[in-house]
Amino acid sequence: MASTQKHKTPDKVRPAGFPTRDQVMDFITTSDQPAGKREIAKAFGLKGQEKIALKALLKDMADEGLIDLGPARAFHKLGGVPKVTVLRIIDVDDTTLIATPERWEAEGQPAPRLRVVERGKRGALTIGDRILARTEEAGRGWVAHPMKKLAKATEMLLGVVEEMADGKLWLRPVDKRIRKDTPISDAGTAKKGDLVLAEPSGRPPRISARVTDILGDPFAPRSFSLIAIHKHGIPHVFPEATEEEALVAAALPLHEEKREDLRHLPIVAIDPVDARDHDDAVWAEADSDPDNSGGFRAIVAIADVSYYVRPGSALDREARKRGNSVYFPDLVVPMLPHQLSSDMCSLRAGQDRAAMACHLTINAQGKVTAWRFSRAVIRVASVMAYEDAQAAIDGTGEHELLETALKPLWACWALLHKARLAREPLALDLPERRVVLDEWGKIVSVAVRERLDAHMLIEDYMIAANVAAAKALEAKKAPVMYRVHEPPSRDKLVALKEYLATFDIEFALGQVIRPATFNHLIKRVGEVEAKPQIMEQILRSQTQAYYSPQNMGHFGLALGSYGHFTSPIRRYADLLVHRALVGAYGLELPAPKGGIIPDRSSLSQEDYENMGKVGEMISGHERRAMEAERDTVDRYVAAFLAAHVGELVKARITGVQNFGFFATVDGLGGDGLVPVSTMGAERFFYDEAGKALEGVESGDRYTVGQRLELRLAEADPINGSLRFELPDHPAPRGGPMKRDRTRPGSHRGRPINIRHMGAKRGKHKR
């Protein structure tokens, strides 16, 4: 029986002048380039038999656990990191990104966490990115200097396992922008129909997938949200240390004796009927001060999150990493653990709660003339839905607080709303979809949320408090995390002008562009069929709002100073504004000594120094959340419509290309394509300027904004996509086109029958 003991060649039998173990180790650990066998041989001038001896030495050192062979065939010290290697960013510690080696094969040793030192544009990297980096030891840890960001094509694949006619397994992507399936080289224990995460391998066009995680049934309750969470890399599991700290924080005393006592006031919280938390409440009454005749006093009370979540704590680090809560139809991924977000920081009726109170003085013209901030203790008199509050005001419902709370709130709001109308902020009446689920997570309906005065009332009180917070901090020359919305760029205005010209609507570029400019434009349009589409195009012409310590104003709201103050449970930006107010106005309430909760609740020095970088980071997290929420609603809409495949639906054309047109179902949303290949034998001319398809023989014209009936040919809940057909031109072979499972990524059907007259050739993406 052969011995399994490995032979180790002692240094004394190496050729003369051959490097020792220590010399080789020194070279591996100090080289600025990947240290492979070839580089080591060249460094020591080894040739012939010496190279053979080097190979044996390196094998011995690896067997002894001294070194390991990493990516790119380069050696590194075991327990260390190669000088140049591929890293994946997995976390953020305060404002510093943390990465780990993508491949780590040192058994029994945890993968090291490297601090990523960014140069150039800040915020270019985020959690989930892969980078090629140069690494070095610094003090007790490792530092990574990014060399380049690696392509998205090498990210993990998320999809559903499908079995083809030949028995082979393929991965069907959940992202509707990915058109091709991927062959599975290693399915592990995954079976047909499983939702899985897979690791790509190989090089295009021969990419295959190795299943690494089985996520379950893609049609099970909450799976659509799970898909979005994994696809967008949203942190959704709280570390144990954060959960433990949340329990300790939730038990902190309220310090009632040090807070302003507002428990005698009938403060109410008005929220959506399906609200998961309640972080704001309002109160108003007519001002008895004769100097403010016809005016009001109002309070906007916000959960005092900064008291529980202190700078530098585990709670703070996790909240910053998340940036905001993410709201799906079936679940919420909170910024803070449930002990805080759903309990101690949620303003529940009849329970004493810590609050940050914004006291407003409003004159008869609706202008906020004075404000002050205090840490208070409140007891919400009632938590009510928008619909119930509105019904009580309209007289179609009843509420015990109608006279003492609701009527004064509405009277004060009438003044605030008058001032808002005079300010003329951007007013786009665009519908918001709401997915209603039953207790088992199945879809009951998808409908447009009704817009009530109660919604606008709360919105105007919140805007008033947000403005007051920004101006209060400016008065103290304290830092502000502004909510910035810049005016539209000239390029977007030019595109809007060209679009409006297709409706014979003039739009002058030389004028001073204000929000009122767009409002007047909408009034000129009138109640025409294309009005919703024109409003959507105006919305697309706007810049995306973001967070920054540099004040650039808020164009959409027509405000010069605007900060977010009213939702610190679910937005990290608001938490920073609360901390700034605590420091600027001497509102500190320390935690008990000797615990794990930091003593200070105002802005830390690190908060001051990193406001810009944090603003970029949380702005990115907000965009990530918006995309995930939108993707999930699209999947629910597709799942809801899947039961109606083959039926006629009322739709509106939202986009036209030379390969077909896109349409959305009225009242539901969810975009789908009508390919020209399904539009009969007629040839179509693509009018690029007018964004229309026109039949060469019939003259039938399909253009943006047009309403028509379409047959729903396919609804795919996995990727949220829809496909339509014209009622008079069903798909070939008498039914909807389906994927040909004998050839992944392909579809049955006739070839596209179109002459691209006047159209650009090449690939087209919506």
Q: How many CB atoms lie within 10 A of CB 255?
A: 14
Q: What is the pLDDT, as a whole number, of residue 759?
A: 30
| H/E element, 91 | strand 84-93
Q: Which fold has domain 84-150?
A: OB fold (Dihydrolipoamide Acetyltransferase, E2P) (2.40.50)
Q: Specify which of 47-61, 96-110, 150-164, 751-765 reaches the highest per-range mean pLDDT.
A: 47-61
Q: How many CB atoms lie within 10 A of CB 585?
A: 18
Q: Specify which of 208-212, 401-405, 606-610, 703-707 reaches the highest per-range mean pLDDT.
A: 401-405
Phi then psi for residue 725, to 5 deg, are -135, 155
Q: Which fold has domain 11-77?
A: Arc Repressor Mutant, subunit A (1.10.10)
Q: What is the pLDDT, as a whole number, of residue 64?
A: 61
Q: Is 725 helix (H, G, I), strand (E, B) or coil?
A: strand
Q: Could you identify the residue written with the tokens 């817009």?
A: 451
Q: Of 622, 663, 689, which is closest to residue 766 (Cα–Cα)?
A: 663
Q: Which of 139-153, 407-421, 456-470 has the lowest mean pLDDT?
A: 139-153
Q: Of 558, 560, 374, which is closest to residue 470 (Cα–Cα)?
A: 560
Q: What is the pLDDT, as a whole number, of residue 734?
A: 33
Q: How many CB atoms lie within 10 A of CB 157?
A: 23
Q: 84-106: per-residue pLDDT in tens? A: 788 888 777 767 888 888 776 55
| H/E element, 391 | helix 386-394
Q: What is the pLDDT, as a whole number, of residue 737?
A: 34
Res 666 pLDDT > 80:
yes
Domain residue ranges in the chain: 11-77, 84-150, 153-218, 240-483+550-625, 487-542, 645-734
Q: What is the mean pLDDT of residues 489-515?
A: 89
Query: What's the CA gap between 655 and 87, in Å, rounded?
Result: 40
To the nearest whole percent, how much of the chain has pLDDT over 90?
46
Q: Which fold has domain 153-218?
A: OB fold (Dihydrolipoamide Acetyltransferase, E2P) (2.40.50)
Q: What is the mean pLDDT of residues 405-431?
A: 94
Opening angle at CA 115, ends 111 and 117, nearest 5: 145
Q: 136-170: per-residue pLDDT in tens? A: 877 777 889 888 887 554 467 888 999 988 889 99
Amino acid at 491: D
Q: 188-238: per-residue pLDDT in tens? A: 899 999 988 888 877 767 888 889 888 888 887 678 888 899 888 899 989
The helix-helix angle for 386-394 and 453-475 (nearest 10°) equals: 110
Query: What's the CA gap between 25 and 602, in Å, rounded?
Result: 49
Token pair for 111 = 């993968």
Average pLDDT over all residues of the chain: 84
How many residues are recorded in the chain?
766
Q: Residue 300 — pLDDT band, cuts 50, 70, 90?
A: very high
Res 621 pLDDT > 90:
yes
Query: What's the CA gap between 470 and 456, in Å, rounded?
Result: 21
Helix runs in 548-652, H state only: 572-584, 605-609, 611-641
User: Comparing 521 with 443, which gets the higher pLDDT?
Assistant: 521
Class of domain 645-734: mainly beta
> Is the fold of 11-77 the same as that of 153-218?
no
CA dihedral 549→552→553→554, nearest 10 degrees, is -90
Q: Residue 282 in contact with residue 270, Cβ under 8 Å?
A: yes
To the nearest whole percent, how much of the chain has pLDDT over 70?
88
Q: What is the pLDDT, as a whole number, of residue 267?
A: 98
Q: Which of 167-171, 202-206, 315-319, 521-525 has the lowest mean pLDDT?
A: 202-206
